[in-house]
Amino acid sequence: MRSFIIIFTFFSLSLAGVNTAIAQNPLTLVFPEDSTKIKSFIADTTSHGKQVNIVMSPDSLDAKVEYGSLDSNYLDNDAHKVYLFGKAYVRYKELSIKADYIVVDLDSSIATAEGRLDSLGQLTGKPEFNMGTENFTAEKMRYNFKTRKGFISNVLTKENDLFIHGEVTKFVAGGADSLHQDDILYNEGALITTCTAEHPHYGIRASKIKTIPDKLAVIGASHLEIFGVPTPLWLPFGFYPISNTRHAGLIFPKDYERSPTWGFGLRGLGYYFPIKDWADVQLTGDIYFNGSWGVNFNSNYVKKYKFRGNIDLGYSNRLTEASDTYLNTKSKSFSIRLTHNQDPKSNPYQTIGGSINVQTNDYQSLNHNDAQSALTNTYSSNFNYSRIFPNKPYSLTASFNHSQNTRSHIVTINAPDLNFRLNRIYPFKSKKKAGPDQWYEKIAFQYSGSGRSQIIGTDTSLFDSKTWANAQWGAQHRASANVNFNVLKYFNFTPSVDYGETWFFKTRDRMFRFDPNDVKFVKPDTIYTPDSTSFFIRPDTISYGKNDDTLTSGFKAFRTISASINMNTSLFGTLQFSKGWLRGIRHVIKPNIGFSYTPKSPDSSYQFQQFSVLYPDSVKRFSRFDNLLYSVSPTSIEQANINYSITNLFEAKYFSKKDSTEKKLKLFDNINMSGSYNMAAKINKWSPLNISGNTRFFKGITTATVGATYSFYGRSDNVHLDTLTYLKTNHKLLRFESLRLRFSSHITFQQVLDLFNPKKETQSQTQTGSNPGNKKLPKKGDKFFDLLSSFSINHELGISRFWMPGRDSTSITTNSVNMVGSMQITPNWSVNFGNIGYDFKSKQLTYPDIGLARDLHCWQLSFSFQPTRGTYSFHLGVKPGPFDFLKFPYNRGNYDTFGF
C-alpha cells in the first residue's frame, strides 16, 4: 500500500468534520518523485518543540495536489479517499477540476468529479476541467494525475468557433508519454457544431474524432444531422484546421447558383493564404456550366505605424445566348479597386495614398444587384504621392486621377499628373527686422507648375491602340506677384500681376466634310403663291455635311498675362431687441470692386473654318485649344473690366426658453451678386448680373440653393439688342434671364419626431410611488417609433425658369424622394430597405431594393427583391463561421428573365 501523509493540522480538522472554506483551508498532499531519491518533508513543530521527519513514498506525485470545498469534506482513511461536497475543487500544477462533488482516490491518484441533482431534478455543478488553454464542461469525468489521462462523459469542448459534444471522451495531456507532445482529445459519437444551444440545432455527427487543440481535428465517418435527425449527406473522413493563427486553406463557394442563362454555377470558390503576419491573399472564382467564368483577387495588408490598405481585382467573362440566332455573345469586364493609407507617424515629409476605382463594361452592375451597385453611374480615382522638402518653400505632388461615367461610357485618365508648387515668398523682405514693414516688403511671389498626360476613351475601348494614339500631354506654368496693404484704415488694397503659359503637344484642327446624306435644317421657311392666296412650308437647308475634329501633333504654347487691382471692406449693421423671442439681427456686407486688364489673344489661337456648303465664304471661328487636357479660354477682344461683387450674410439672435440663453441662427449663409463692365468692348459692355445664395431650414435638414441671372440688355425673338440697354427700351434696369432653385433634404425618422414633438420637461409625479426616481415614463407609441429609428429620407427638388417670350418656361427638373433603413419588427425578424423611392417627374419607382431576414439562432434566412430588374436572392444557411458552407441559395440575376 502506498504511503501518504497529510499535513497534521488539516488532517485533524477533516476528522473532526469541520467545514473548510475554499480560500481559508486548502488540503495539500505531497508525494516523493521516485524510489531512488527519498525526500523528507519537515512539518510544523509540535507544541513540545520536536521536529517530525516524514518519509515520502517513492511513487508519489512530483508536485502537491490542493483540494477543498465550500460545503464540507472528509477523509476516509480506510479507503484512502477524500470526499469533497459543494463547489469542490482539485488543483495539480496548471490543472484544475471544479464540480459540485469530487472524490480523490489517494492510492490510484484518480479524481472523479460529477454534478448533483437539485430539488427540481436539474443537474447542477457540472465538472469543469481547466488545463492551460483547454476548458470544457462535462456530466462526469475521471482524471489520473500520474498518467495525465482522463475519461469524460458527455463533455462539451470549444475549439475556436467550434463546439464538440462528445459522448465518451479520452483526454491525454501533452508529455504523458514519449509519443505525445501535445494535448489530445479522443471522442466517440461526437457532434461538431457552431450552435451554442444546449441541444444543438445542427451538427456533423462523427463516429470518431481526434483533436489536437489549436491545430487540427481529424474526423472519421460522419454525416450531417439537423435537429437530431440524420441526413443522407455523408463524409468518409475530414480534416478541420482549428488553429488560432491564420493559415492557408480552401474557401467554399459563397453561392450555389442555378441560372437559366448561365446554367449551374459556383460563386466564390477559391483559396486563402496568409503572407507572413502583415498581409493575406484571397483568390476566388466563379464558374458556370455554359462557359461563363470570373476571377477575383483580394488582398489586405497592414503594418503598424506604417501603412494599411486593400487591393481588389476582378474580371468576368459572361456568355449569353441570343434567343433568335442561338449564338453566344461575350461580355467581358473588369474592376480595379485599391485603397492605401499611410500612417502620419511613418514619415512627416512624404506621403503616398488614396483610392482607385476603375470599372469597365458595367462590372459592378452586372455582377451585383443591390441598389448602390445598380444606381451608381460615376466612378473616380485619386491616388497621390506628395513630398515636402524640409526648410524649403516648395513641394512636389504626383498623382493618378481617373473619372468615368457608365451611362456615356466615357473614361478620362490623367496619369501621371505632376505638380510643383512654390509657396508664397517675400523676396524684398529685410532679414534684419527694424521697425514696421515697408510696403515693398509685403510684395509676395508665387509659382506653380504642372505636367500631365491624359487618355480619353470608352470603357470598352480603353486599351485599344487608337485610344492610346490620341493620348495628350502638356505642361502649364503660373506665376503671380501681389501686395496687400490697408488704405484709409478700413479698406484692403491688393494690386497683382499674373502670368500663365500652357504647353500643348497636340492641338485641335477642324475640317468641313461634304456629305449629301447629312442634311441640317433651320426653322421652316414660308413660301407664298404668286397671288398670295395660299402658302406652304419648306424647310430651309443650310448644310450638307459636318465638321470633323482631329488632333494634330506639334508644339504650341498659349500665353496669358493680366494685371488687376482690387479693393474690399466689410460693413456691419445690427438691430437689437430687449424683449420677445427675437433679440437681434445682424447684416454683414462685403463689397469688392476692382479693375483687371487682359490683352487680346493672338490670332494663332484660332482657326477659321467653313461651316456650310451653301455659303462657302461664311466661316466660324473656333479655338485650337478647345476640349484639351488643360482648359484655357482665348479672348477675341481686349479685356479692360471693372469687376464688382457684393456678399451678404444675415444672422439672427433669439432667446431659448429651454436653457434661458441667447443663441445665434444663420438666416442666409451667402447671398452673392457679381458682374463686370468691359470698357474695351464695342458692344455688350455689361456682363450679366449673377445672383447666388444658400440657406438651411428646419435645423439643417433642408438646404436651399438659388441661382439667378439678369441682363442689362433687351431681347426680341431670341436676338440680343446689344446696342441699347434694357433701361432705355423698357425703363427697367434689369431683364430676367434664368432662375434655378434646388432643395436638398436629408432627415432621419428621429429628427422628424424631434421636429414636430420637441422634448419638454415633464413635471414630477405627485406620488413618488407611482414613478420612483421621477423617471420619464415611456409613451405607448415609443415602441413603434423605435422600429423606424434607423430610417432616413432623402428628397431632391429642382426648379428652373428661363426667359421665353409669350410663355411660361417654369419647369421642375428634379423631384424625387427615397428612403433607406431597416426595421427590427421582432427580435428575430427584420425588414431592410436598401432603397425605395419615387420619381415624381417620371412617375415611377426608383429602383426598389427590399429585403427580409429571419434569425434562426445558428442559422439565418434572408430574401431580397429588386422588382425593377426582376432579380431576387433567397438564402438559407448557417451563420458565418467554419460551417457556413452549409446553405441553400437560390438567386435570379439581372441577366436572367423574369420568373422563378
pLDDT at position 810 is: 82
Contact in structure between 498 and 561 (CB atoms under 8 Å):
yes
**Cα separation of 842 and 839, whole Å?**
6
What are the backbone dihedrals phi and psi of residue 344, each rounded to the nearest 5 degrees, phi first?
-60, -25
The three-class DSSP label of residue 754 is: helix
80: left (phi over 0), alpha (psi -120 to 50) or beta: left
Nearest to 814 by CA among 841, 778, 846, 775: 841
Please state whether beta strands 149-159 and 162-172 pair in parallel, antiparallel, or not at all (unpaired): antiparallel
Burial of 444 (0-12, 13-18, 19+ CB in 10 A): middle
Copy the grid coordinates of residue 881.
463561421
**Residue 852, strand partner residues:** 831, 863
pLDDT at residue 607, as a whole number: 54
Select from 682, 674, 496, 688 the least CA-distant residue to 596: 496
User: pLDDT higher for 718 or 155?
Assistant: 155
Q: What is the pLDDT of residue 774?
A: 46
Distance of alpha carbon 249 from alpha carbon 268, whole angstroms:
14
- Mean pLDDT value across residues 832-839: 86
Max avg pLDDT among 180-184, 258-262, 343-347, 643-647: 643-647
Helix boundaries (H) for 792-845: none
Instruction: For residue 722, report the phi and psi dihedrals to the nearest 5 degrees.
Output: -75, -20
User: Distance (Å, rounded) from C-alpha 381 to C-alpha 354?
Assistant: 8
Q: Are 253 and 271 in contact (CB under 8 A)?
A: no
In this model, does residue 78 exceed pLDDT 50? yes
The single residue listed with the C-alpha cell 509540535 is 46
Please give the grid coordinates belonging to residue 413.
Answer: 485618365
Scored b (16 or more CB within 10 A) or e, 473-493 reads ebbbbbebebbeeeeeeeeee
Interacting residues of 283 by C-beta distance below 8 A, sequence separation 6+: 270, 271, 272, 295, 296, 297, 298
pLDDT at 13: 32
Look at the alpha carbons of 652, 653, 654, 659 in this order and tell me if their dihedral is positive or negative: positive
Q: Scan for cell 505632376, then name that residue.
A: 418
pLDDT at 102 over 80: yes
Q: Are strands 735-748 and 702-711 parallel, antiparallel or unpaired?
A: antiparallel
In the chain, % of residues over pLDDT 90:
25
pLDDT digits (tens, 9 = 90+) for 548-588: 777 888 898 888 999 999 999 999 998 888 888 888 899 99
Quick one: pLDDT at residue 571? 93
pLDDT tens-digit series, residues 760-769: 443 434 444 4
Residue 96's closest CA among 134, 124, 146, 152?
134
Task: Give me the pLDDT at residue 843, please.
Answer: 87
Residues contacting 711, CB < 8 A, separation 6+:
688, 689, 726, 734, 735, 737
pLDDT at residue 216 greater than cutoff 90: no
Residue with cell 471692406: 569
The predicted pLDDT at position 31 comes to 40
Binning pLDDT at 50, 70 and 90, where does residue 900 land? very low
8-state DSSP, 879: P
Residue 148 backbone dihedrals phi, psi, to 5 degrees? 60, 40
**Model confidence at 99, in pLDDT bands (50, 70, 90)?**
very high
Half-sphere exposure of 245 (CA within 13 A, CB side): 7
Judged against a pLDDT cut of 60, whether residue 14 lies above it is answered with no
Nearest CA to 833 out of 810, 867, 797, 807 is that of 867
Residue 391 neighbours by CB under 8 Å, 6+ apart: none
Average pLDDT across the chain, whole number: 79
pLDDT mean over 261-267: 81
- Strands, E, within 360-490: which ranges? 378-388, 394-405, 410-425, 444-458, 472-482, 485-487
Residues 166 and 153: their CA atoms lie apart, in Å, by 7
DSSP 314-362: EEEEEEEE-TTT--EEEEEEEEEEEEEEE-TTT-SSEEEEEEEEEE-TT
- What is the total residue count of the chain? 900
Least confident of 190-204, 292-306, 577-591, 780-794: 780-794
Task: Report the phi/psi class of residue 66: left, alpha or beta, with left for phi > 0 and alpha for psi in -120 to 50.
Answer: beta
Q: Between 755 and 245, whose confidence is greater?
A: 245
Q: Give the integer Cα–Cα distance in Å for 348 and 649.
A: 39
Strands 255-259 and 811-823, by their bridges, are unpaired
| Region of poorest pLDDT, from 104-113, 607-616, 753-762, 811-820 | 607-616
Residue 264's DSSP bridge partners are: 258
Contacts of 446 (CB under 8 A, 6+ apart): 422, 423, 424, 425, 479, 480, 481
State pLDDT tens for residues 608-633: 554 554 555 556 677 788 888 888 88
What is the three-class DSSP state of 841?
coil
Cell of 202: 445542427
pLDDT at residue 709 tops 80: yes
Residue 312 has a pLDDT of 95
Q: Measure the CA–CA gap between 165 and 163, rounded to whole angstroms.
A: 6
Instruction: Provide the whole-model pTM.
Output: 0.66
Over 50: is that where the pLDDT of 319 sits? yes
How confident is the model at residue 493, as a pLDDT?
92
pLDDT given at position 617: 57
User: Would you tell me how many other CB atoms lie within 10 Å of the CB of residue 198?
Assistant: 7
Element (H, E) at 704: strand 702-711
Residue 772 has pLDDT above 60, yes or no: no
Using CA atoms, how far apart are residues 545 and 616, in angstroms rounded to an integer? 12
Pairwise CA distance, residues 340 & 502, whole Å = 32
**CA-to-CA separations, 574 to 121, 571, 577, 590, 645, in angstroms, rounded:** 82, 10, 10, 15, 22
Q: Give the whole-angstrom CA distance, residue 865 versus residue 875.
A: 12
The pLDDT value recorded for residue 311 is: 96
- Exposure class string for 806-845: b at 16+ Cβ within 10 A, else e: eeeeeeeebbbbbbbbbebeeeeebebbbbbbbbeeeeee
Distance of CA 379 to the CA centre of its chain: 15
The residue among 152, 140, 270 whose CA lies nearest residue 211 is 152
Which has the higher per-residue pLDDT, 4 or 465?
A: 465
Q: What's 533-566 look like in SS3?
A: CCEEEECCEEEEEEEEEEEEEEEEEEEEEEEEEE
pLDDT of 540 higher than 70: no
Average pLDDT over residues 55-64: 66
Neighbours of 313 (CB within 10 A): 15
pLDDT higher for 516 or 582? Answer: 582
CA distance 50 to 37: 25
Q: Which range scores top for mean pLDDT: 590-599, 619-628, 635-644?
A: 590-599
Closest by Cα among 327, 295, 331, 301 to 313: 295
All three cell numbers of 785, joined, read: 417609433
Q: What is the pLDDT of residue 138?
A: 85
**Per-residue pLDDT band at 882 (split at 50, 70, 90):** confident
The number of C-alpha atoms within 13 Å of 370 and in the hemisphere containing its C-beta is 8
**DSSP single-letter state for residue 578:** S
340 contacts 353 by C-beta, under 8 angstroms = yes
CA angle centred on 832, ends 831 and 834, rounded to 5°: 160
> Is the per-residue pLDDT at 530 higher than 60?
no
